[in-house]
Chain A
Amino acid sequence: MGPLTLVQVTPLQGYLLLAAVLFAIGLAGALTRRNAILVLIGIELMLNAANLNLIAFWRYGPHPEALTGMMFAIFSIAVAAAEAAVGLGLVIHIYRFTHTTDLDQINRMKG
């Protein structure tokens, strides 16, 4: 991350930027990849980026002892896990019917 060293950046901003990068990558993946599972992976990445944000703000936030950031991250991890499970379950189910995980072909919900 060349530019960062040039610009005087506080540690928090570093983490936020990292989170932003990760989020962007996750979003790009989710938007571009054809395979449904990879979209889910992209979403997982975006969630993790959010967690990183939370923890960063908690760490450099005014009241770290309040543990809000940490708690939020933990709960977010739990929910993300549940979401991943259900998401993958759905993908498998769709595969069972359409024999494909290619999102471009799964468009039965067309308007």
Chain B
Amino acid sequence: MQETISFTPQVGTSGIAQMLCLIPAVPVVASGVIALLKQPMRKTAATLAVGSLSFSLLLSLFAFAHVVSGWSHGHAVREVVNFTWIHVGATNVDLGCVLDPLSAVMLVMVCFVGLLIFIYSTGYMVHDENCTRFFCFMSLFAGAMLGVVIANSLLLLFMGWELVGLTSYLLIGFWYQKPSAAAAAKKAFLTTRVGDVFFLLGMVWLASGTGTLLFYNNGGGSMEAGALASLLGQHACWGLTAAGAIGLLIFAGAAGKSGQFPLHVWLPDAMEGPTPVSALIHAATMVAAGVYLIARVYPLMAAGSLLGGTTTALTVVTWVGAFTAVFAALIAVAQDDIKRILAYSTVSQLGYMMAGLGMGGVAVGMFHLITHAFFKALLFMGAGSVIHGCHDEQNIRKMGGLKADMPLTFVTYAAGMLALCGVPIFAGFWSKDGILEAGSHWSVSKGPVALLIFGALLTAFYMTRQVAYVFFGHWRGHKPAHESSAVMTIPLVILAIFACVLGLFGTPAWPWFQSFLGGRATPVEFRALLEPNVLLVSGVSVFVVLLGIVLAWWLYGDKSPKPDQPDVLQKAVPMPWAWLRNRLYVDEFYGVTFIAFYAWWARIADWLDRRVWGGAVSGVAVAFRGWAQVNRLLDTHVVDGTFDKGCEELSTGGGLLSRIQNGQIQAYLRWLALAVVVLAAILIWSSRA
């Protein structure tokens, strides 16, 4: 149920709107300064990074307050600051910032979570000698992410998008000495690149179609009615309207960045980076960017749909989201690495968000994104402190019984796990429930809901398995673990609190979040909880979650099996276990198809290059050499011949002539007499007539 949000036309830009562009600028500048610092100046680097992000957080909070106050006065606030970036002939390329409920929420989430992660990483990275470089990249990443959030133009968004991609590459490959890290960084970069290509295509199509890339421009923007109407008119292919086609292309980009099914392979390998990186990028922000993009472009994809109806584009998004959710959850069940399990869980949760967007609209998807950001960040940092504690040991089968050694971590990690599974009153339950409820109303088909429910079951199962392995049983590692320092645990506690409390903002009874995004007033009515459909959905989800936890505890419980012992499930169902273990061979599949094709095509290109072009060039060279040969022959024989020969003749002729002047008087006399004779003869001969 999406409703057209009516925004009052923008009168003037408020102060905070003007300052909006500062929010991304400050972290970027900070990263520039940190880049200039010398390696050992870790303290200053850390303070700079944290300071700049806290400043941005402050600004975001002001903006959020401004929007809320506006919203509370009954008119939805959307303020746009546009300026011309390039003026080329008749066309000029405009960029701009936008402040509306969607961006305000994202700003606050990104800054808050980012800040906590920065504080966490000061403790985590303190032993690493490249600490300054780390903070430089991290603040650059934060700046880029904020840029994406406030962008009012698809182009500015795309720039931030690319910058985020770059920083993710740098951060994943932070320990570039490790070949696996370097390979992972490259893999991440390339796969997101594939998605970005489609994104670019969509952008270009949008620009040519609507003439502008700005989202909102006092009626002229691409997301506003006028442009949408024109796009609807153009008919693309397979029954898709132009708007739908552009939306799908942009979704392909989002899929790449958010790790949806075909392009999800890079996210598990991205765990090679340091844990704060994984937390920041692969849990809270970057992956969320894809979902945010779809939310920002939602009017485009939803254009042409009757009230309550849906478009083919949204249908595709929903199916992809649902399938990814189940797919990732299945693989997560069979993983041993603590961070890899969390990675796959992120992929499946993103699937959930995409499905939510597809079926429930912007508010449903965004609410799950916000809540997921908090508890996933918590889980990752918890995993980080576990690894830190176990002296960089990542395999869950080698841990166990940590609830005694690391009690604070255990408590916060447990809260995160419960929120993720969707246990009632925790954040995860409300946001997942909203998605399921939206799914149940989905008119197209009930398939996605079924998949999502099965996904919820699997989520609950693999999370309890992981907790069981890590915290219960007894210590299987070789060195005793120790609790992390305060600077790491405080953020965990804060996030844990949020994981518990945040859900309440979006309950059916008091849908503050949804109405805030919708720009409507939020009546408080407990009766909404008791609606038959809502009750049904929440009941099913609670049942499924409990089933999952009991099943997992039954299998793994406090057993703490030997590290070398095969997993319980492995004994039970060895064949599927092996498949899941190997990530359903998706990588290999790609290796065989795309990479093979690519290698083959490279060989062809090489052959083409060497034989054909090379041949052509060498042919030309040969031709030239031949021509030079001809030229030389020509030169020596013809030119020299004639010219030199001519000169020789001339000089010999000259010689001959000079010989006449030989100083002998009698010779002259002889010539004279001869001349006389000749002249006389001529005279006589001519006058004889």
Contacts and interface: CB of A to CB of B under 8 A. Distances in A.
Contact of A109 (B659, B660, B663, B669): B663
B670 A106 contact: no
A110 B662 contact: yes
B665 A106 contact: yes
Contacts of B666: 30-32, 39, 103
A10 interface: no
A107 interface: yes
Contacts of A106: 663, 665
B550 interface: no
A51 B670 CA distance: 22
B84 interface: no
Contact of A107 (B658, B660, B664, B670): B664
A15 B231 CA distance: 129
B673 interface: yes
A108 interface: yes
Interface in A84-111: 103-104, 106-111
A27 B673 contact: yes
Interface string B655-689: 00011111111100110010000000000000000
Interface residues of A, number: 14
Interface in B185-227: none
B661 A30 contact: no
A107 B662 contact: yes
B662 A111 contact: yes
A107 B673 contact: no
Contacts of B660: 111
B661 A31 contact: no
A39 B669 CA distance: 10
B673 A31 contact: yes
Contacts of A39: 665-666, 669
A111 B670 contact: no
B430 to A, nearest CB: 123
Interface string A9-51: 0000000000000000001001110001001000000000000
Contacts of B661: 109-111
A106 B659 CA distance: 15
B663 A111 contact: yes
User: SS class of chain B's interface: helix, strand, loop or mixed?
Assistant: helix
Contact of B665 (A27, A103, A111): A103
A30 B670 CA distance: 9
Contact of B670 (A31, A104, A108, A110): A31
A31 B666 CA distance: 5
B664 A103 contact: yes
A106 B664 CA distance: 7
Contacts of A27: 673
A28 to B, nearest CB: 10
Nearest to B660: A111
Nearest to A42: B669
Contacts of A107: 662-664
A104 B663 CA distance: 9
A108 B661 CA distance: 11
A106 B666 CA distance: 11
Nearest to A33: B666
Contacts of B669: 30-31, 39
Nearest to A36: B665
B149 to A, nearest CB: 102
Nearest to A111: B661
Contacts of B673: 27, 31
A110 B664 CA distance: 8
Contacts of B670: 31
Contacts of A30: 666, 669
A86 B595 CA distance: 115
Nearest to B661: A111
A31 B677 CA distance: 15
Contacts of B659: 111
Interface string B349-365: 00000000000000000
Contacts of A31: 666, 669-670, 673
B214 to A, nearest CB: 96
A108 B658 CA distance: 14
Contacts of A32: 666
A6 B669 CA distance: 35
A111 B658 contact: yes
A104 B660 CA distance: 14
Given A31-B669, A31-B670, A31-B673, A104 B658 contact: no
A104 B673 CA distance: 18
B471 to A, nearest CB: 123
Contacts of A111: 658-663
Contacts of A103: 664-666
A30 B676 CA distance: 15
A108 B662 CA distance: 9
Nearest to A34: B666
B650 to A, nearest CB: 16
Contacts of B658: 111
A22 B658 CA distance: 33
A44 B665 CA distance: 16
Contacts of B662: 107, 110-111
Most A-side CB within 10 Å, residue of B660, B666, B670: B666
A32 B663 CA distance: 15
B569 to A, nearest CB: 121
Contacts of A108: 663
B273 to A, nearest CB: 99
A111 B661 CA distance: 5
Nearest to B664: A107
Interface string B125-144: 00000000000000000000
B663 A110 contact: yes
A103 B660 CA distance: 16
Contacts of B663: 106-111
Nearest to A104: B664
A73 to B, nearest CB: 21
A106 B669 CA distance: 15
A30 B664 CA distance: 12
A110 B665 CA distance: 10
A88 B265 CA distance: 124
A108 B659 CA distance: 13
B666 to A, nearest CB: 6
A25 to B, nearest CB: 13
Interface in B609-663: 658-663
B462 to A, nearest CB: 117
B357 to A, nearest CB: 110
A81 to B, nearest CB: 21
13 contacts: A27-B673, A31-B666, A31-B670, A32-B666, A103-B664, A106-B663, A107-B662, A107-B664, A108-B663, A110-B662, A111-B658, A111-B659, A111-B660
Given A39-B669, A110-B661, 10 more contacts: A30-B666, A31-B666, A31-B669, A31-B670, A39-B665, A103-B666, A106-B665, A110-B662, A111-B659, A111-B661
Interface of B: 658-666, 669-670, 673
CB-based closest 6 A-B pairs: A111-B661, A107-B663, A110-B663, A109-B663, A111-B658, A31-B666
